[in-house]
């Protein structure tokens, strides 16, 4: 287990540290040995060389051997070898004191402190004091044998004893402090090593169940318990559900316990790890399994800040199987797992929010880019179903003048509900939303008897509904609703999300309404301008309207889109607006125009462009108006464009304008007969006019699809009215 690991690590660290102290001791012994040699040389004549020299030499050899031995001894034998070496040093120093008794070397007894220092530094204050006492006893014995104890030397001896004891106490205390720090570092090292080895097991992108299973595997491998269990906490139901188990029988692996059961309550509500060294002495302990009798256990919450996600439990059949180290490790590992679960939930929630924001953005982009009201309404109900995972969605709009509601669009509803007429605000869920101005969610639709269509839930298989108002500043323009097929309790987040969609939908609906109103005003202004232009000349009265009719019919036959046809319609109505800037005498001149007058007349497309360019909405129209007098061969005006360079709408208007002018009276000529006008179009095919447009228009004439003018009672006169059925087909 972890306890054995950190003790082994601490023992190895201590041995390494104490071996490093040899460097310091080596320097001190070197100085001491040099001092001893110098002192001996000075008084060598006083001693017997046969006894002293071997002892001095033995000390030198001993110091060399000690350096060699300390660095090579195994950690488990370090203590024994250390005591043998220090005992040998003590014996050699004692012999030296005895052999130099006739003339003691000055302060030689100071050298006895060296082995004391080593023992105190290596093994702490207790063993240092014991070895200091032993050294004092040995020194006293040697002093007695050497005859050095008397009344004069007694104070000096007492000073040596104090020095030996003081050195062992001070250095031993320092060693104990260093040992405690070393052990603490070793504990942390083992704990961090174990935690780091499991760090990759907890990924924020993992599912909660996988995180808990990895936690259980990590605890089972590192703590080696007889039993390991990890429970997931379900606060709404007040219970813990077994997610991972180790050491249990198969029938025990399906387990759920109340969160207030035994020690579980203390762990879940207290949020702290509980260590039980003896389960028989813990009154709150409850056995969770029958297959094993657990004697010691640890419970640790999977807790991050104020949230508890589960409980981990390890147990052993032996008492005191776990200690402080195991408790701290398990707590740290459970915090890691809880943080991973917390981040996993945040990650999942963030992904959901990003998905919702993306959906809202796409919905907003889709509905705000559309200007057709019906299309906007259909987009809203369609996207509401996808966003809220619903079966049915509907938009009910409020008629503020009549105070009634009407289903304007729906997805998933039967046609009869869409075709139903308006209904009052009273007696309906939508009306209640309008009156109260707030969202209403019903988990069970049948519980609200005010539902407008009482048979709808049963018929369509609907269970729950969420209705929110379409708010626009300080007024409500309708209600947006979604229905689910299964019973569902809408969360505050879902209500807020749907309300956000409704706000965007209200803006889009109002924009579409405003666009429709603006379009109506725009068309009215264009019609008025065209009428003002035609009113200047009685010969051209109704010209713009007839050109518009011809051009739009051509566009329809050429398969152009509705948007393109609208642009051609408005451009046809305004194609001569530039004539406002042309002198009236030129417009009404009955004779052929002079060159100067012709050049002035040819400026009317540019005048039109200057008039229209200030209106952004008319920008597509302006391009067609400016170029409707260009020729297909490039000889036209004002830009001399040719072929496909000329906008298609301008080429269509050119044919319609030319034909209408030819069959109408002008100040300088009478209307051409129809056959001459048709022949003129054919002559200009490929030079003045686009061949494809001419062919399309002539085909329409042959089929009688074009109104050519009005008789005295305002009846539209068609081609067959000129030629008869037979002539129409032959022209």
Full 3-state SS string of 334-347? HHHHHHHHHHHHHH
Q: Write phi, then psi, for 164 (nearest 5 degrees).
A: -60, -45
* Tokens linked to 425: 């605000």
Cross-sheet strand order for the sheet of 274-276: 256-258, 239-246, 227-234, 307-316, 296-304, 274-276
Alpha-carbon distance of 409 to 412, in angstroms, equals 10
Q: In this predicted structure, what is the pLDDT of residue 9?
A: 44
* Tokens linked to 699: 């085909």
CA nearest 210: which of 239, 233, 244?
Answer: 244
* Tokens linked to 395: 């938009």
DSSP three-state, residue 625: helix
Q: Please identify which residue in the block is written with the tokens 């999942």.
A: 348
Burial of 466 (0-12, 13-18, 19+ CB in 10 A): buried
Q: Please identify which residue in the block is written with the tokens 């029938």.
A: 251
Task: Sort residue 673 into left (φ over 0), alpha (ψ -120 to 50) or beta.
Answer: beta
Question: How far is residue 705 from each of residues 671, 702, 711, measured CA to CA in Å?
Answer: 21, 8, 17
Q: In this predicted structure, what is the pLDDT of residue 650?
A: 94
Within a 10 A sphere around the Cβ of 37, how many other Cβ atoms? 14
DSSP three-state, residue 70: helix
Alpha-carbon distance of 286 to 58, in angstroms, equals 69
Q: Write phi, then psi, for 623 (nearest 5 degrees).
A: -60, -40
Alpha-carbon distance of 568 to 648, in angstroms, equals 9
Alpha-carbon distance of 467 to 481, in angstroms, equals 4
Burial of 515 (0-12, 13-18, 19+ CB in 10 A): middle
Q: In this predicted structure, what is the pLDDT of residue 197?
A: 59
CA nearest 633: which of 644, 623, 625?
Answer: 644
Q: Which residues does the chain have with pLDDT short of 70?
A: 1-26, 46, 71, 75, 182-206, 359, 363-364, 366-371, 418, 447-460, 519, 522-523, 526-527, 529-530, 533-541, 614-616, 666-668, 707-731
Terminal CA-CA length for the chain: 107
pTM greater than 0.85 (yes/no): no
CA nearest 297: which of 272, 271, 279?
Answer: 279
Alpha-carbon distance of 637 to 623, in angstroms, equals 13
Q: Dihedral sign, CA of 37, 41, 45, 50?
A: positive
Q: In this predicted structure, what is the pLDDT of residue 7?
A: 47
Alpha-carbon distance of 542 to 530, in angstroms, equals 9
Give per-residue burial for 361-378: e unless 16+ CB within 10 Å, then b: eebbebbbebeebeebbb
For residue 235, give every residue at least 6 positions away whose Cβ sits within 8 Å of its Cβ, in sequence order, or none.
259, 308
Q: Please identify which residue in the block is written with the tokens 């198969």.
A: 250
Q: Do residues 222 and 298 lie in contact, with contact meaning Cβ atoms separated by under 8 Å?
A: no
CA nearest 232: which of 332, 345, 325?
Answer: 345
- DSSP per residue over 90-115, as a string? HHHHHHHHHHTTTSPPTTGGGGGHHH
DSSP three-state, residue 717: strand
Q: Do residues 157 and 136 lie in contact, with contact meaning Cβ atoms separated by under 8 Å?
A: no
DSSP three-state, residue 379: helix
- DSSP per residue over 209-271, as a string? HHHHHHHHHHHHHHH--SEEEEEEEETTTTEEEEEEEES--GGGSS-EEETTSTHHHHHHHH-
Alpha-carbon distance of 656 to 139, in angstroms, equals 134
Q: Do residues 604 and 576 lie in contact, with contact meaning Cβ atoms separated by under 8 Å?
A: yes
DSSP three-state, residue 632: coil
Q: Return the bridge partners of 471, or none.
A: 476
Q: Please identify which residue in the block is written with the tokens 């152009």.
A: 560
Alpha-carbon distance of 178 to 17, in angstroms, equals 9
Burial of 251 (0-12, 13-18, 19+ CB in 10 A): exposed
DSSP three-state, residue 671: coil
Q: Do residues 539 and 664 lie in contact, with contact meaning Cβ atoms separated by under 8 Å?
A: yes
pLDDT digits (tens, 9 = 90+) for 335-357: 988 988 888 888 877 777 777 77
Q: Do residues 383 and 359 lie in contact, with contact meaning Cβ atoms separated by under 8 Å?
A: yes
Q: Do residues 568 and 589 lie in contact, with contact meaning Cβ atoms separated by under 8 Å?
A: no
Question: How far is residue 679 from each of residues 659, 683, 731, measured CA to CA in Å?
Answer: 11, 6, 10
Alpha-carbon distance of 290 to 274, in angstroms, equals 21
DSSP run (H or E) holding 608: helix 604-612
Q: Return the bridge partners of 464, or none.
A: 484
Q: Please identify which residue in the block is written with the tokens 């049963």.
A: 458
Cis peptide before 581, with omega less than 30 degrees from 0?
Answer: no
Alpha-carbon distance of 687 to 642, in angstroms, equals 10
């Amino acid at each position: 287990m972890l306890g054995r690991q950190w003790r082994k690590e601490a023992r190895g660290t201590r041995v390494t540290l104490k071996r490093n102290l040899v460097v310091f001791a080596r320097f001190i012994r070197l100085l001491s040995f040099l001092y001893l040699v110098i002192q001996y040389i000075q008084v060598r004549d006083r001693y017997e060389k046969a006894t002293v020299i071997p002892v001095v030499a033995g000390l030198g050899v001993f110091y060399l051997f000690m350096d060699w031995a300390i660095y090579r001894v195994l950690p488990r034998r370090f203590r024994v070898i250390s005591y043998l070496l220090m005992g040998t040093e003590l014996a050699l120093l004692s012999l030296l004191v005895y052999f130099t008794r006739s003339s003691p070397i000055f302060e030689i007894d100071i050298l006895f402190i060296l082995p004391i220092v080593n023992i105190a530094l290596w093994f702490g204050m207790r063993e240092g004091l014991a070895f200091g006492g032993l050294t004092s006893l040995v020194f006293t014995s040697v002093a007695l044998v050497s005859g050095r104890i008397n009344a004069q030397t007694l104070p000096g001896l007492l000073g040596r004893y104090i020095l030996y004891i003081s050195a062992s106490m001070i250095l031993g205390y320092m060693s104990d402090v260093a040992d405690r720090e070393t052990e603490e570092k070793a504990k942390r090292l083992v704990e961090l090593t174990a935690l780091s080895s499991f760090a990759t097991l907890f990924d924020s992108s993992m599912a909660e169940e996988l995180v808990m299973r990895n936690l259980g595997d990590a605890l089972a491998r590192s703590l080696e318990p007889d039993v390991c269990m990890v429970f997931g906490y379900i606060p709404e139901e007040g219970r813990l559900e077994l997610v991972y188990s180790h050491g249990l029988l198969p029938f025990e692996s399906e387990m759920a316990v109340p969160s207030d059961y035994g020690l579980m309550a203390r762990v879940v509500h207290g949020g702290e790890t509980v260590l039980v060294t003896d389960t028989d002495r813990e009154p709150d302990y409850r056995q969770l399994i029958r297959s094993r009798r657990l004697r010691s256990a640890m419970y640790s919450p999977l807790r991050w800040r104020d949230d508890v996600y589960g409980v981990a439990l390890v147990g052993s059949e032996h008492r005191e199987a776990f200690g402080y180290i195991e408790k701290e490790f398990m707590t740290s590992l459970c915090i890691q797992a809880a943080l991973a679960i917390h981040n996993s939930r945040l990650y999942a929630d963030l992904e959901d929010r990003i998905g919702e924001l993306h959906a809202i953005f796409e919905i907003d982009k889709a509905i705000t880019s559309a200007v057709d009201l019906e299309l906007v309404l259909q987009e809203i109900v369609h996207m509401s179903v996808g966003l809220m995972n619903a079966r049915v969605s509907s938009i009910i709009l409020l008629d503020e003048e009549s105070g009634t509601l009407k289903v304007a669009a729906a997805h998933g509803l039967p046609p009869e509900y869409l075709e139903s007429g308006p209904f009052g605000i009273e007696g309906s869920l939508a009306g209640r939303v309008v009156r109260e101005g707030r969202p209403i969610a019903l988990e069970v639709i049948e519980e609200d008897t005010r539902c407008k269509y009482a048979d709808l839930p049963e018929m369509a298989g609907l269970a729950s509904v969420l209705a929110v108002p379409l708010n626009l500043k300080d007024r409500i323009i309708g209600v947006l609703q979604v229905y689910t097929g299964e019973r569902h309790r809408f969360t505050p987040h879902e209500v807020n999300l749907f309300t956000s969609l409704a706000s965007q939908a209200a803006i889009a609906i109002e924009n579409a309404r405003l666009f429709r109103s603006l379009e109506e005003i725009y068309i009215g202004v264009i019609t008025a301008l065209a009428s003002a232009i035609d009113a200047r000349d009685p010969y051209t009265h109704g010209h713009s309207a007839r050109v518009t009719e011809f051009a739009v019919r051509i566009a329809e036959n050429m398969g152009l889109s509705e948007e393109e046809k609208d642009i051609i319609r408005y451009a046809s109505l305004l194609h001569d607006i530039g004539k406002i800037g042309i002198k009236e005498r030129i417009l009404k001149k009955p004779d052929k125009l002079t060159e100067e007058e012709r050049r002035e007349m040819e400026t009317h497309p540019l005048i039109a462009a200057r008039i229209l360019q200030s209106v952004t909405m008319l920008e597509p129209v302006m391009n067609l108006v400016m170029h409707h007098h260009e020729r297909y061969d490039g000889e036209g005006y004002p830009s001399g464009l040719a072929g496909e360079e000329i906008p298609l709408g301008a080429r269509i208007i050119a044919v319609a304008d030319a034909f209408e002018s030819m069959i109408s009276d002008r100040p300088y000529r009478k209307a051409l007969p129809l056959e001459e006008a048709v022949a003129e179009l054919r002559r200009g095919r490929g030079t003045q006019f686009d061949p494809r447009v001419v062919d399309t228009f002539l085909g329409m004439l042959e089929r009688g699809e074009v109104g050519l003018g009005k008789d005295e009672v305002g009846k539209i006169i068609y081609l067959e009215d000129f030629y008869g059925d037979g002539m129409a087909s032959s022209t």
